[in-house]
A and B are shown apart, each in its own frame.
Chain A
Amino acid sequence: MTDHSDRVEELIAAAAASDLSAQEQAEFDALRAQDPTIDATLHELMGLLPGLQAAVPHWEEAEPPQRLDASIRSITESGVRSETVVEGNGAPAASASEKPLSEHSRAQQPRGRRRAAFALVAAGSVIAGSGATLTVQHLIDSPPDGPPGTYGAVEEITFLDEPGEVSVDGSLIAHTWGTETVLEIEGLEPGSSFTVVLVAEDGQEFASGTFFGSEVLIECRMNAAIMRDEVERVEITAEDGNVITWAELPSAIDPEAEDTGAGES
């Protein structure tokens, strides 16, 4: 496309919107008579408009939600960890990040829950292998110590009302970007989908990820964009929304508010 002077560009823009005054029209016509490339440019731009107007009858201008920034930044962090914890008896265990993402969105969750879980679980790790017998504590090398809420510290939690054969060991790790849940799960129905949900004090639910039940031990790490000191309860729910088991959490500190000197994670 030919370059034009600033004035010609303004007149072309006005002409394309049928917004030329009579005086401008005369000026534009004179310029067009001198420079045929002006018409070529005008036609190129105007040729775009019918398609644009048909394709985009309405445009919404909005900022992405703040939580999206945090959750996308956590993709890398979670994914790196997910590969460091692979340990077993030979072949690398399958991780969630190697599955098609569509598999992770099979569960029919309420929209509010599904939002956060949609892809975080893809970056988290679900390791289902007979040799994958790391304990939760061993998943992290020399974590910082401190009360619940300390950045990077592993906080063991206890799940209650586990039905029948179901056994869940869990820990939480507070991060600057949210809360990580580390789970070892056995006994959930193979193939069925389950969701890890962090419940805030005000009852708001933050989905942390979904996983499938398996005949072997499942280890998984999931993330949610909620600060640890705001989490009151962790739930594992079935596809129909029923709570399978849950853990009540103690109060946690806000490291930044109390300046505990807890390490960044």
Chain B
Amino acid sequence: MRHTNEDVIRLGQSPPEPAQTADHSPPQPVHFDVAETYSRFGRQLYLFALNALGDPDAAEEVTQESFTKAWLARHRFDPQQASARTWLFAIARNVIKDAFRRRARLPEPVDDRRMTHLSTSAPDPAEKLMLIEALSCLSTEHRQAVVAIHLIGLSYAELSESTDIPISTLRSRTFHGLRALRRYVTSSEADDD
């Protein structure tokens, strides 16, 4: 049986001596660890997909496909150029866009109650996706505060009463959540330029 480097490479480890036979495996040691990356960012990515697509099944598919693509392209991952999260989310954005395109080709019945909403000026899809991504990447505490105050519209007193968390803590979390969102958006826009 002919072996490639992939026989013995475990992600993050050095490859063996060059094989004698044709080698179509990654030419360099790779440092993209699927399991570790999923442990660190899997939930964020799933939340991103879930809220972008609004469908748990689709979110699961997108998460799976994003990690699969990342692993298949791991030889192109360069931690000097981007963090694993940045790289993974760049892949996920494309997978989600593909999912949108597939949906766009499939006519869907529209609920009458949504017509008014649909006819109003919709946010730019790229901006919408970026904001959902940014929100997904907040810490759970920061995100929950931002969502409760600014998306659901609770007052700090109402949120404090329902969570038993002091108002001052909730305000601080909201401040830092919004600031992190702002940084994320600013940095994403800079990357796009």
Contacts and interface: CB of A to CB of B under 8 A. Distances in A.
Interface of A: 1, 6, 9-14, 16-17, 19, 44-45, 48-49, 51-65, 68-69, 71-73, 75-76, 79-80, 83-84, 86-87, 91-92, 97, 101-102, 111, 114-115, 118-120, 122-123, 138
Interface string B34-49: 1100100011001100
Contact of B131 (A16, A45, A51): A51
Interface centre among A11, A92, A119 (most CB of B within 10 A): A119
Contacts of B71: 75-76, 79, 123
A122 B7 CA distance: 18
Contacts of B9: 80
B31 interface: no
Nearest to B132: A56
A199 to B, nearest CB: 20
A72 B38 contact: yes
A223 B76 CA distance: 26
Contacts of B127: 51, 55
B1 interface: yes
Given A69-B42, A115-B57, A53 B65 contact: no
A111 B68 CA distance: 19
Given A45-B178, A61-B144, 20 more contacts: A1-B182, A6-B172, A9-B175, A13-B172, A17-B174, A48-B178, A52-B135, A54-B128, A55-B131, A57-B151, A62-B47, A62-B50, A63-B46, A68-B64, A71-B64, A72-B34, A80-B9, A92-B24, A119-B64, A119-B67
Given A9-B176, A57-B151, A73-B38, A114 B51 contact: no
A117 B61 CA distance: 9
Given A10-B175, A87-B2, A65 B51 contact: no
A62 B56 contact: yes
Interface string B10-31: 0100000000001011000000
A43 to B, nearest CB: 11
B110 interface: no
Interface of B: 1-4, 6-7, 9, 11, 22, 24-25, 34-35, 38, 42-43, 46-47, 50-51, 54, 56-57, 59-61, 63-65, 67-69, 71-72, 98, 122-123, 127-128, 131-132, 135, 140, 143-144, 147, 149-151, 155-156, 168, 171-172, 174-176, 178-179, 181-183, 185
Interface centre among A9, A60, A72, A73 (most CB of B within 10 A): A72
Q: Is the interface of B mostly helix, strand, loop or mixed?
A: helix
B65 A101 contact: yes
A65 B24 CA distance: 34
A14 B131 contact: no
Given A17-B156, A56-B151, A118-B61, A102 B98 contact: yes
A73 B35 contact: yes
A75 B174 contact: no
B173 to A, nearest CB: 8
Contacts of B175: 9-10, 12-13, 45
A10 B168 contact: yes
A180 to B, nearest CB: 16
Contacts of A92: 22, 24
B25 A76 contact: no
Given A9-B176, A52-B151, A115 B60 contact: yes
A87 B22 CA distance: 11
Contacts of B182: 1, 44-45, 48
A58 B191 CA distance: 27
Q: Which 8 A-B pairs have the closest CB atoms?
A: A55-B128, A64-B46, A13-B175, A119-B68, A13-B171, A10-B171, A119-B64, A83-B6
